[in-house]
A and B are shown apart, each in its own frame.
Chain A
Amino acid sequence: MGDINTAMAEQYRNDFLKEVEANVEDGQWVKMCMQCGVCSGSCPLGPAWEHPPQEIFMMIRAGRRDEVLKSESMWMCTSCYNCIVRCPRELPITHIMHGLANYAHRLGLAPKMNPTRRFAKKFWNNLAKTGRVNEIELSVGLYFMDGFKTGIARAWAMKDIGIGMLKAKRLNPFGFVTHKGCKDKKGIQRMLKKAREIEDRRKGFAA
């Protein structure tokens, strides 16, 4: 077959559902959706989603791989669990959304500038380094991720909350230098590395 034929045939390849079942956490639940729509209607951030969960499930079944994986939608999930509680078939919708987001990220298809993705990355790197979150480093990093000027503006807007947290001793202002992390940092890092290797092998991600 010529290249054009292959390319055309590729459009109609419909194994995305199987791909999701194999690689996305809780992906095997997607086929259980009966399209009642109660998840979409129950989502407090619903109006902000381009494709509500119910539609995402249908798009997966319709094989619209690129549209799903490049979507901002599943990054909107705030884990309120309203959908899971109400789903008549008990689909773990929140977990599937996070699973899809993670899968899209690992494939490098997730929208690069999505703020949730950027925050998640910062959080993970911060946590993985010492086994415990360094709060001052994380929040300052978050404020300044779009440059110095916006960082100052954000920090200024949040100053009352910050001062309140300092007074209540919920935030250590010297965390940059005094943050200790866990006892066996190297052990934790080795463990995470090993887990990553296993996942990569199982799901066929390039190492």
Chain B
Amino acid sequence: MADVVATHETIVVVGGGISGMTAAVEAAETGKNVILLERAPSLGGRVSQLYKYFPKLCHPTCGMEINLRRLRGNKRIKVLTQAEVRKIEGHAGDYKLSVTLHPRYVNDNCTACGECGQAVSAEIPNPFDYGMSRMKAAYLPSLMAYPQRYVIDPSILGTADAEKAKAACKYGAIDLDMKPETITLSAGAVVWATGWRPYDAAKIQPYGYDRFANVITSVEFERLSDPRGPTAGRIVRPSDGKEAKNVAFIQCAGSRDRNHLKHCSRICCMASLKQTTYMREHFGDEAQSTIYYIDIRAIDRFEDFYQKVQADPAVRFLKSKVANITEDEATGDVILHGVDTEGYHRYDNRHDLCVLAVGMEPSVDVRSIADVRVDASGFIELGATDGGIFGAGCAANALDVNRSVQSATASVLRAVQVVNRVAKAEG
């Protein structure tokens, strides 16, 4: 990678989701040189997998488009995808990052024409849909993918499929001999924005996510609702494809629980409130949403959103942490068992589908990579190091999109101060 120039005055941003993209653009627009590293083949992160975001219920593609426009137009940003940071050594003003670049098997000649995808017959689970759909092993990660280049999945290497893909390409873009390479980057400061992953719902044993087809997670429900998702936007049950008009949302699935995640993940209450609006959008007055909650934490100025949802007769609120879920094998319905805190009534409620509002956990254990301090949940502590590595977005805390962007901008301000100090010292 001879074309990557990095000095002590470079800011490296790790993670190309909403926080990382914001950080990269903000830093570059102050005149700093930025290298943006992303582990996946495309920028966008988890936000691009949402159907809509709260509170305005606009589509993430819009914000993505604005950010990509700022990013592409800025010569100071170098984007490396399929890049994984292994180790960060050094100190503020002088870091060395060891980075593995995984092969895409497709070079810059790719025009995203899609011929290779049509030629290949092997299919793999699509991570963009959390595995709810399958895709060809030569694929474009998503419609909004940046860079707009196909990816050959390593599972078809050495098979006839790989050769078919190569033969189908009119531009000589497919290079099956690409190898992983490890490079070392210099940096004055690092913005660590590796984001979050949904908590593994199968670990919440009484809810049976691993046993019952009709218990899904909130991120999967986003994909079900999206017209570009695995069901073309039809909210249906995974077990039999029947329309799910009666849906239960379970809050704090994994969060605020010392057996799972100790912290409140902050976004899940708003996410479920938002998802009840998807239900109304799809089914009108026939929609039935029930939210099982300990207490609703529609943080900050989102209280009015909560009140609007409360006023909807299609949404019921039940103050109770569900004890366990069973399945009616004949119909595939899920039955939620528990005791209602308001009156201590025992219930056994039947629903078509159950959505677990799963918590957020940091997607990467940063302690094995860099010398930073993290809190009890693994989030990077603000100002905990005197160095030049700064957590941003969901690597630093459980945050919504709005706050992630604020957090990213704040981290960039700190990173800029570090490289300014270096520039002054070097004259």
Chain A residues at the B interface, C-beta cutoff of 8 Å: 34-38, 40-42, 46-47, 51-52, 54-55, 85-86, 88-90
Query: Chain B nearest CB: distance from A19 CB in Å?
Result: 23
Chain B residues at the A interface, C-beta cutoff of 8 Å: 206, 252, 256-260, 294, 319-324, 337-341, 344, 346
For B252, the chain A residues whose CB sits under 8 A away are 36, 88
Query: Chain B nearest CB: distance from A160 CB in Å?
Result: 33
- Please tell me if the beta carbons of B321 and A37 are within 8 angstroms of each other in the complex: yes
For A52, the chain B residues whose CB sits under 8 A away are 339, 344
- Please tell me if the beta carbons of B259 and A38 are within 8 angstroms of each other in the complex: no
Pick from B258, B294, B320: contact of A41, CB below 8 A.
B320
Query: Chain A nearest CB: distance from B250 CB in Å?
Result: 11
A41 to B346, CA, bound (A): 7
Name 5 extra pairs, CB < 8 A, besides A41-B324, A54-B339. A37-B341, A38-B323, A40-B323, A54-B341, A88-B257
- Please tell me if the beta carbons of B206 and A42 are within 8 angstroms of each other in the complex: yes
Query: Chain B nearest CB: distance from A62 CB in Å?
Result: 13
For A35, the chain B residues whose CB sits under 8 A away are 294, 341
For B337, the chain A residues whose CB sits under 8 A away are 41
- Please tell me if the beta carbons of A37 and B258 are within 8 angstroms of each other in the complex: no
Residue of A nearest to B258 (CB): A90
Q: Quick one: given A36-B320, A88-B259, A89-B258, are A41 and B344 in contact (CB under 8 Å)?
A: no
- Please tell me if the beta carbons of B321 and A46 are within 8 angstroms of each other in the complex: no
For A51, the chain B residues whose CB sits under 8 A away are 344
- Please tell me if the beta carbons of A34 and B323 are within 8 angstroms of each other in the complex: no
Query: Chain B nearest CB: distance from A146 CB in Å?
Result: 31
For B338, the chain A residues whose CB sits under 8 A away are 37-38, 40-41
For B341, the chain A residues whose CB sits under 8 A away are 35-37, 54
For A47, the chain B residues whose CB sits under 8 A away are 346
- Please tell me if the beta carbons of B256 and A41 are within 8 angstroms of each other in the complex: no
For B258, the chain A residues whose CB sits under 8 A away are 88-90
Q: Quick one: given A36-B294, A40-B339, A42-B206, are A88 and B344 in contact (CB under 8 Å)?
A: no
- Please tell me if the beta carbons of A37 and B339 are within 8 angstroms of each other in the complex: yes
For B339, the chain A residues whose CB sits under 8 A away are 37, 40-41, 46, 52, 54
- Please tell me if the beta carbons of A42 and B294 are within 8 angstroms of each other in the complex: no
Query: Chain A nearest CB: distance from B44 CB in Å?
Result: 33
Query: Chain A nearest CB: distance from B257 CB in Å?
Result: 4
For A85, the chain B residues whose CB sits under 8 A away are 259
A86 to B205, CA, bound (A): 10
Highest count of chain A CB atoms <10 Å: which of B206, B257, B321, B341: B321
Pick from B256, B319, B320: contact of A88, CB below 8 A.
B256
Query: Chain A nearest CB: distance from B225 CB in Å?
Result: 28
- Please tell me if the beta carbons of A42 and B344 are within 8 angstroms of each other in the complex: no
- Please tell me if the beta carbons of B346 and A88 are within 8 angstroms of each other in the complex: no
Q: Quick one: given A34-B294, A54-B339, are A40 and B324 in contact (CB under 8 Å)?
A: no
- Please tell me if the beta carbons of B344 and A55 are within 8 angstroms of each other in the complex: yes
Residue of B nearest to A41 (CB): B323
A10 to B260, CA, bound (A): 43
Query: Chain A nearest CB: distance from B9 CB in Å?
Result: 47
A88 to B324, CA, bound (A): 14
Top 3 closest A-B pairs, CB basis? Answer: A41-B323, A41-B338, A36-B321
Query: Chain B nearest CB: distance from A68 CB in Å?
Result: 14
**10 A-B residue pairings within 8 Å (CB atoms):** A37-B320, A37-B323, A37-B340, A38-B322, A41-B320, A41-B323, A47-B346, A54-B341, A88-B256, A88-B321
- Please tell me if the beta carbons of A38 and B344 are within 8 angstroms of each other in the complex: no
Residue of A nearest to B295 (CB): A34
A88 to B295, CA, bound (A): 14
Query: Chain A nearest CB: distance from B320 CB in Å?
Result: 5
For A40, the chain B residues whose CB sits under 8 A away are 323, 338-339, 344, 346
A90 to B256, CA, bound (A): 11
For A38, the chain B residues whose CB sits under 8 A away are 321-323, 338
